[in-house]
Structures are given as C-alpha cells and as structure tokens.
Amino acid sequence: MARGHVIFVSKNQGMIVVQHDGGFALVELLGSEGELAVGDAVVADWNALGREEFRAHDESHDAFFQGNWGARQTAIDAARRAGGG
C-alpha cells in the first residue's frame, strides 16, 4: 500500500486519477462517488487491477482499478472517456 493524491475527478464524480510514485492510476469509484476531491490523499496498491479497496479520509472505499499510465494527461483523457468528462 502506498500513498497518492487525487489529481482529477470526472464530471460524474465516478472516476478519479491518482498521482503516485509509480505514475498515474485510473480508478472507478464503486459507491463512493462524490466523496473525493482534487488534492485528497489516498492509500492503495497502485499496481492492482480490477476490484480492490483503497483508503481515504480514514475509511475503506471500494473501487475498480483500471491501470496506470506514465503521463498525467493520458490518464486524465482515459478518465474523461470512461467517466463522463
């Protein structure tokens, strides 16, 4: 588990991009839509793929990890395509 920070939240608030030491992770929120904002600290296994939990605001959240990208804009573009802008 490693720390990261939310750098993007989609318009529908269901997709986030998290910057972490290994790059930029695209995460679909499952039941926590609207609970995270840009700048929030989150902790997870950023190499995970598929359904996993992460921690934010001292709580566990369910999510679907969709992969990592090396470039910020590439991850944000993927989140926009998948999560309504």
Residues 11-56 have pLDDT tens digits of 889 999 999 999 999 999 999 999 999 999 999 999 999 999 999 9
Structure pTM? Answer: 0.94
Predicted pLDDT of residue 84: 64
Residues 6-23 have pLDDT tens digits of 999 998 899 999 999 999
Q: Write down the number of H helices and E strands in the chain.
A: 1, 6
What residue spans of the chain are helical by DSSP H?
Answer: 72-83
Q: Which two tokens stand for residue 3?
A: 């720390």
Predicted pLDDT of residue 85: 62
The residues, ordered by sequence, that sit 6+ positions from 47 with a Cβ below 8 Å of its Cβ are 22, 68
